[in-house]
Amino acid sequence: MQAIPTSPERAPVSVSQLFSYPFRIFFLSMTVLALAVIPLWVMQVNGVISLPLAMPGLFWHQHEMLFGFLSGAIAGFLLTAVCVWTQTERTHGFRLVLLWGVWLAGRVLLATGADLPFWLVQGVNLAFLPLVMVDAGWRIWHARQKRQLMIMVVLGLLWLMQIGFVTRLDMAFSYGALIMAMALISIVGGRITPAFSTGWLRQRGLDSNAVKTIPALDMATVFSLILLMASLVTGWQTVTGLLALLSGGLMLVRLAGWKGWLVRQEPLLWILHLSILWVPVSLFLLAGTLFAGWPSNAWSHAAGTGAVACLILGVIARVALGHSGRPLVLPKGMVLAFVAIHLAALIRVLTAFEIIPWHPGIGSSTLLWLFAFGMFLYRYTGILASPRPDGREG
């Protein structure tokens, strides 16, 4: 894969440009968070530092990966995409500054608010996702796009999981949030992955009809994941295990229909297929946890690091190029970043099974994570903070 001919890092950059479109500020900010939270958590666990966290360290780590990192990615992608879907004016300027400020305040308060009132810390923290839903939902409602309503439903359920998590500090709600994250992957990934693959094949004169999607199967997968979340939170172990097997099987059938191996030469496409493959893997691992006593952190890291983080990296790498008016050609080093994030997920799962010892496993997966998102930060900061080369707004 060749590098972009004209280096975007040399383009004039400005802070104001970051607030010209939601993907710019949120992709950059959630990447910085990804680079900060993991090493801070590792140092906290090993007693190197002691942060004045507003919740116990493990819960803070889980929360920031699920509701800090993920919610930033959701805001950047959804508030950018919904403007295209509905043909409405983008959120930008002062409104975007305020929305981003709520997200940032939530991160700061959780990391430093040990002595602050609970209502203040969590009130600010819980305000972000509803604000995103209001912004996107208003546009969807006025455009009468019923197709997008399921995204709003899943986001609402994700927010309910966040409320349960911060008020009860119960890992069942973090697990439920992971399931809802995979439901979002099922919806959004299920749209863009086969669509992008079909377009790529068609452009090269290959058989684009080989890529198959079945709307009924897509909907069944999402509903099975919602049922799985409800069962998991309520503690129905046998039902949860069976639903995990069902959801994983449905997702695997969908992936087989998308024919990911046909686009293996394009990193911006194989990263999507390979990342979504972590969804059925994590669901099967969840079933193994419930039926065979496998470690619970195996499926949760397969879902969090594998499905969620890997897909986020793949999506933001593509969206940042396309919506900034640049050719869909990966900057140098990003293929290695894609490989690194998948290796980080694999090593973390193997560490959970004690196939790799804890300290080497945590250390190597952390370094791979830092390399992957560090490479994105290095290669994409100039893209995100500079104007479109075609002179258009956004």
- Dihedrals φ, ψ of 332, to 5°? -60, 135
Provide the pLDDT confidence category of residue 6 given band limits of 50, 70 and 90.
very low
Q: What H or E segment, with its residue span, contains residue 27?
A: helix 22-45
User: Is residue 118 in a domain?
Assistant: yes
pLDDT tens figures, 313-345:
999 999 999 999 999 999 999 999 999 999 999
Q: Which of 22-26, 90-94, 110-114, 378-382 has the lowest mean pLDDT?
A: 90-94
Provide the pLDDT confidence category of residue 44 given band limits of 50, 70 and 90.
confident
Provide the pLDDT confidence category of residue 2 given band limits of 50, 70 and 90.
very low
Please determine, for residue 225, whether its predicted confidence score (pLDDT) is greater than 60: yes
Residue where the block lists tokens 């939902």: 137
CA distances to 107, 377, 382 from 304, in Å: 19, 20, 28
How many structural domains compose the chain?
1
Give the residue, 375 or 11, on which the prediction is more confident: 375
* Percentage of the chain modeled with pLDDT above 90: 85
Contact 25, 323 (CB under 8 A): no
In the predicted model, what is the mean pLDDT of residues 183-192?
96
User: Is residue 238 in a domain?
Assistant: no
Q: Provide the domain limits for residue 39.
A: 13-169
Give the residue, 4 or 348, on which the prediction is more confident: 348
Reduced DSSP (H G I as helix, E B as strand, rest coil) percent helix, strand, coil of the chain, to 5: 80, 0, 20
User: Is residue 48 in a domain?
Assistant: yes
Provide the pLDDT confidence category of residue 390 given band limits of 50, 70 and 90.
confident
User: Is residue 103 in a domain?
Assistant: yes
- From the list 124, 41, 107, the residue with the least C-alpha distance to 304 is 41
3-class DSSP state of 20: coil
Q: What is the pLDDT of residue 11?
A: 54
Please determine, for residue 212, whether its predicted confidence score (pLDDT) is greater than 90: yes
What CA–CA distance (Å, rounded) separates 113 from 120?
9
Q: What is the pLDDT of residue 393?
A: 73
Contact 309, 345 (CB under 8 A): yes
Provide the pLDDT confidence category of residue 118 given band limits of 50, 70 and 90.
very high
Q: What H or E segment, with its residue span, contains residue 258?
A: helix 237-258
Please determine, for residue 79, whether its predicted confidence score (pLDDT) is greater than 90: yes
Provide the pLDDT confidence category of residue 147 given band limits of 50, 70 and 90.
confident
Q: What is the pLDDT of residue 394?
A: 67
Q: What is the pLDDT of residue 198?
A: 97
In the predicted model, what is the mean pLDDT of residues 44-65?
91
Q: What is the pLDDT of residue 4?
A: 41
What does the H/E/C string look like for 296-353? HHHHHHHHHHHHHHHHHHHHHHHHHHHCCCCCCCCCCCHHHHHHHHHHHHHHHHHHHC
What CA–CA distance (Å, rounded) separates 224 from 311?
21
- From the list 151, 158, 175, 161, the residue with the least C-alpha distance to 243 is 175
User: Is residue 194 in a domain?
Assistant: no
What CA–CA distance (Å, rounded) separates 1 from 213?
29
* Percentage of the chain modeled with pLDDT above 70: 96
What CA–CA distance (Å, rounded) separates 180 from 172?
12
Q: What is the pLDDT of residue 109?
A: 97
What CA–CA distance (Å, rounded) separates 191 from 197?
10
User: Is residue 233 in a domain?
Assistant: no
What CA–CA distance (Å, rounded) separates 263 from 253?
18
Contact 72, 36 (CB under 8 A): no
User: Is residue 47 in a domain?
Assistant: yes
Residue type, 212: K
User: Is residue 145 in a domain?
Assistant: yes
In the predicted model, what is the mean pLDDT of residues 340-354?
98
In the predicted model, what is the mean pLDDT of residues 166-190?
96
Report the chain's mean pLDDT, rounded to a whole number. Answer: 93
pLDDT tens figures, 246-301:
999 999 999 999 999 999 999 999 999 999 999 999 999 999 999 999 999 999 99
